[in-house]
Amino acid sequence: MGDTLTCPECGAEIESMDDLETGHEVAEVEPQDDGSFNLFENKDLFLCKGCKRPLGVKKLQ
């Protein structure tokens, strides 16, 4: 059995991927010492279906 996540915004119990909204993409950013940044591969952003609060990103392999 997997873990359960509770949304800190609305209190929804997240028990499976069916309880999340997916498909949003965010860029991974790495800041450099000179203040610039590098963009890396987009990651899928997972949102609470109840309130749309971001709860995590897909782990890169």
For the chain, give every domain's residue range.
5-57
- Determine what percent of the chain is predicted with pLDDT higher than 90: 54
Rg (CA), the chain: 14
CB 48 within 8 A of CB 14: yes
Q: What is the pLDDT of residues 14-42, one digit of tens each?
A: 999 899 998 778 888 899 999 999 988 88
Residue type, 5: L
pLDDT at 28: 86
Residues 6+ apart with CB under 8 A from 38: 29, 30, 32
